[in-house]
């Protein structure tokens, strides 16, 4: 689980085998479920602070890394 976004208002969580769950913290609502974001179980979520948290990265057990927009 990781909080990200320019205003630290987005919660990203991995669930299931490769799915991402996106929650807006301002209104405490589900924004999206990204099914099959990875082919395997996600083991790491990183908010990219040097890019003002506009992006975050995910890594799954087979080593694939993906960069996502937090906006």
Asked whether residue 28 carries a pLDDT value surpassing 90, the answer given is: no
Q: What is the pLDDT of residue 64?
A: 95
DSSP 59: E
DSSP 3: E
Taking the model in full, what pTM does it have? 0.84
Half-sphere exposure of 6 toward its Cβ, with a 13 Å CA cutoff?
3
Q: What is the pLDDT of residue 71?
A: 78
pLDDT digits (tens, 9 = 90+) for 48-68: 999 999 999 999 999 999 999
Asked whether residue 9 carries a pLDDT value surpassing 90, the answer given is: yes
Alpha-carbon distance of 63 to 71, in angstroms, equals 25
For the chain, the C-alpha Rg in angstroms (whole number) is 11
Alpha-carbon distance of 42 to 51, in angstroms, equals 22
Domain ranges of the chain: 2-69
Asked whether residue 31 carries a pLDDT value surpassing 90, the answer given is: no
Q: Considering the chain, what percentage of its residues have pLDDT values greater than 70?
A: 100
């Amino acid at each position: 689980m990781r909080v990200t976004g320019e205003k630290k208002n987005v919660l990203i969580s991995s669930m299931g085998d490769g799915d991402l769950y996106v929650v807006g913290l301002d209104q405490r609502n589900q924004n999206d479920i990204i099914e099959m974001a990875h082919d395997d179980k996600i083991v790491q979520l990183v908010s990219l602070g040097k890019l003002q948290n506009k992006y975050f990265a995910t890594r799954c057990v087979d080593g694939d890394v993906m960069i996502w927009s937090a906006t």
